[in-house]
Amino acid sequence: MHGISGRNGHRARSRRGAALILGLLISIALLVVIYAIYTSALFGPSTVLRTGSGVAEDRPWLEEDRIVPFGKVIELPRPPRMQIDKPDTINARVFREGERRGQLSILLSPRGEVICTWHAEFAHGKRETTFDATAEGNIDVTKTYEGPDGPDATLLYFITKGTYTEQVYDRGTTRGFVSGGTIYVTGWLPPDGRGHGKITLTTDKKSSVSYEWKY
């Protein structure tokens, strides 16, 4: 009888152990689903969070040393690059995979300082999303644009860093949330014609999502 009881106890412990493992696997699967839903709500249904590539523009946090500390002199551009003789504001359109994502304002100072503000409101189904962000930085004449046709010394580079907030509201569930992170706005300004660049959002400086801006 004692041997039978021991075997039964062993089976019971094995079943409990299997149940615990199954429960753990189910919990992990649920967490993965919740994370996927959260990132979809954060960045949109067509966005995939990606790790930074080897391209500096895809990982602007690696170029933070280009942001000049407050009070330091910023080297100003010379021709053929654009000349900033007075405060100027550039308004650019923002896109994500061809879909409009608000407007970016780029304020240029004759001292080389740059302030960017971004506002976007868009909806997908019953979900409404609003982004607001401000980033500060400066131009950098030491960086030269490298395009498919080679370098272009007429384009002026700038880099800014700041914070963004995102508000998501679901009309179906009447629920929403507010989140935020770090934003980088970088780009190239021509002496005339069309400028272009990127808005990069990140929460951990490992994964990011990018938007394109142009005017």
Q: Give the per-residue pLDDT at 193.
A: 84
Residue with tokens 């550039």: 90
Task: Evaluate whether 136 touches 147 at the Cβ level (below 8 Å).
Answer: no
Q: Give the per-residue pLDDT at 33.
A: 40
**What token pair was written down for 155?**
């384009």
Report the CATH fold assignment for 52-214: Porin (2.40.160)
Q: Give the per-residue pLDDT at 58.
A: 83
Mean pLDDT across 53-75 = 88
pTM of the model: 0.76
Percent of the chain predicted with pLDDT > 70: 74
Higher pLDDT, 167 or 38: 167
Strands in 148-194 per DSSP E: 150-152, 156-170, 175-189
Higher pLDDT, 138 or 46: 138
pLDDT in tens, 107-127: 999 999 999 999 999 999 999
Q: Give the per-residue pLDDT at 23.
A: 59
What is the DSSP code string of the chain? -HHHHHHHHHHHHHHHHHHHHHHHHHHHHHHHHHHHHHHHHHH-TT---EE--SSGGG-GGGGGGGSPPTTSPPPPP-TTSPP--S-EEEEEEEEETTEEEEEEEEEE-TTSEEEEEEEEEEEETTEEEEEEEEEEEEEETT--EEETTEEETT-EEEEEEEEEEEEEEETTTTEEEEEEEEEEEEEEE-SSS--EEEEEEESSSSEEEEEEEE-
